[in-house]
């Protein structure tokens, strides 16, 4: 009788474990699909990159001791302003110190560890 009970208990444990494993695998797959779909949305990506470039411009002005006019220019204005910016390590560190900029990078699935090495990776010199 006790052997049957132990066997039944073990069998149900195996069934529950398999069920939970399948649920977790499916959840992970769904999360990856949502992430891929979000990043493939070109407008979303363009908007996030525009926000990030605007943060870089704000940081450059802060490092140089200049203040912006307080209003955010249009996407076209941001791109035109960014065309001649040279990003120094100091400016990039200022960007990384801002929570909004780091949130934008996380939204673009750039991990904190990868963002630390981003300047060296993108630096042309």
Mean pLDDT, the chain, integer: 81
Model pTM above 0.85: no
Report d(CA 33, CA 23) in Å as an integer: 15
Place of tokens 């069998």: 11
User: Residue 50 pLDDT more than 60?
Assistant: yes
The pLDDT tens digits for 54-97 are 888 888 888 777 655 455 567 677 777 777 778 888 888 888 89
99-107 helix and 42-63 helix, angle to the nearest 10 degrees: 160
In DSSP notation, 30-98 reads HHHHHHHHHHH-HHHHHHHHHHHHHHHHHHHHHHTT----SSPPPHHHHHHHHTT----HHHHHHHHH-
Q: What is the pLDDT of residue 73?
A: 63
């Amino acid at each position: 009788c006790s052997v049957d009970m132990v066997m039944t208990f073990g069998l149900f444990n195996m069934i529950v474990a398999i069920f939970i494993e399948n649920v977790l695998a499916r959840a992970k797959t769904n999360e990856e699909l949502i992430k891929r779909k979000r990043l493939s949305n070109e407008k979303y990506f363009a908007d996030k990159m525009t926000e990030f470039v605007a943060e870089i411009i704000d940081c450059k002005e802060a490092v140089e001791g200049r203040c912006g006019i307080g209003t955010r220019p249009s996407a076209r204005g941001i791109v035109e302003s960014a065309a001649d910016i040279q990003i120094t390590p100091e400016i990039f560190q200022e960007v990384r110190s801002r929570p909004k900029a780091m949130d934008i990078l996380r939204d673009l699935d750039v991990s904190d560890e990868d963002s630390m090495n981003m300047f060296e990776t993108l630096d042309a010199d």
